[in-house]
């Protein structure tokens, strides 16, 4: 039976050189390709919704799996049984959570309506081994006023605008393609964990991490929320904050167009 399967996957990216297959290290896609081939008995293409960087994690990453060079799988395995069967061939830091059949013309990347990321900052004074590799440790206290300033700054990200100042220098996206629609951007705190959530129709290379680095500069008093508006208007990467470490970033949810 010919079918295309959409997988929802979670992974701890600490041990991987990002999602996409590359020659200089082990990637999440490589492990998924091997697991799919072991399960279905022939080489497969696992096409992801995004290209997460080295060290970045995912809670709701989406990818389609098909026979290599084709737009379908030839299998009688029901979709509901695929997660457990694939997980038997995957390492413990990658798991397929669910699987469903989708139309043969469905595309995991180009059919995306929005993606939501969460970035975690651990704001405890001393390091916490349970957040090692899973959050950015900023030991300097971020008080209520600083948190409010971060939220005010994050509000300036919302809307359809040019995010040239919030992408990595040398990124291969042309300036005309730097416009993105950010639907929501919020900063919240629970105990020592500060969460930045942002949802958009797409993201530039390192965009979320640069946003977080800029918010950290606001919290430290090196920038104001109004400075963020100026940086957006001037489109100058050197005026924005540093690039936050990859360890705190999670691809949390992907929404597709109907």
Catalogue the active-site residues: 53
Closest CA to 38 of 85, 4, 6: 85
SS3 107: coil
Give the ranges where the chain is alpha helix by DSSP (H). 28-40, 82-87, 144-155, 207-219, 225-234
Rounded to whole angstroms, how far apart are CA atoms 33 and 7? 12
SS3 100: strand
Contact 156, 139 (CB under 8 A): no
Q: What is the DSSP string of 215-250?
A: HHHHHTTSS-HHHHHHHHHHT-GGGS-PPPPGGGEE
Rounded to whole angstroms, how far apart are CA atoms 123 and 126? 9
Tokens 């492990």, located at residue: 31
Rounded to whole angstroms, how far apart are CA atoms 160 and 179? 7
Contact 73, 40 (CB under 8 A): yes
């Amino acid at each position: 039976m010919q079918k295309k399967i959409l997988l929802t996957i979670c992974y701890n990216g600490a041990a991987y050189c990002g999602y996409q297959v590359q020659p200089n290290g082990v990637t999440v896609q490589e492990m998924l390709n091997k697991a799919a081939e072991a399960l279905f008995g022939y080489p497969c293409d696992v096409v992801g919704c995004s290209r997460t960087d080295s060290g970045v994690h995912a809670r709701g990453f989406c990818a389609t799996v098909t026979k290599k060079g084709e737009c379908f799988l030839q299998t009688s395995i029901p979709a509901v049984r695929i997660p457990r069967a694939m997980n038997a061939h995957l390492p413990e830091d990658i798991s397929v959570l669910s699987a469903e059949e989708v139309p043969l013309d469905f595309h995991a990347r180009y059919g995306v309506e929005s993606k939501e990321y969460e970035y975690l900052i651990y704001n405890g004074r001393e390091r916490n081994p349970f957040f090692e590799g899973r959050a950015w440790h900023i030991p300097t206290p971020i008080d209520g006023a600083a948190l409010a300033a971060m939220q005010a700054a994050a509000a300036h990200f919302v809307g359809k605008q040019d995010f040239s100042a919030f992408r990595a220098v040398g990124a291969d996206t042309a300036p005309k393609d730097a416009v993105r629609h950010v639907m929501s951007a919020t900063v919240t705190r629970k105990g020592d964990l500060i969460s930045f959530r942002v949802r958009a129709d797409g993201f530039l290379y390192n965009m979320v991490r640069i946003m977080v680095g800029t918010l950290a500069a606001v919290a430290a008093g090196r920038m104001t929320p109004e400075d963020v508006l100026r940086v957006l208007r001037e489109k100058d990467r050197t005026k924005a904050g540093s690039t936050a470490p990859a360890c705190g970033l999670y691809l949390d949810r992907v929404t597709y167009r109907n």
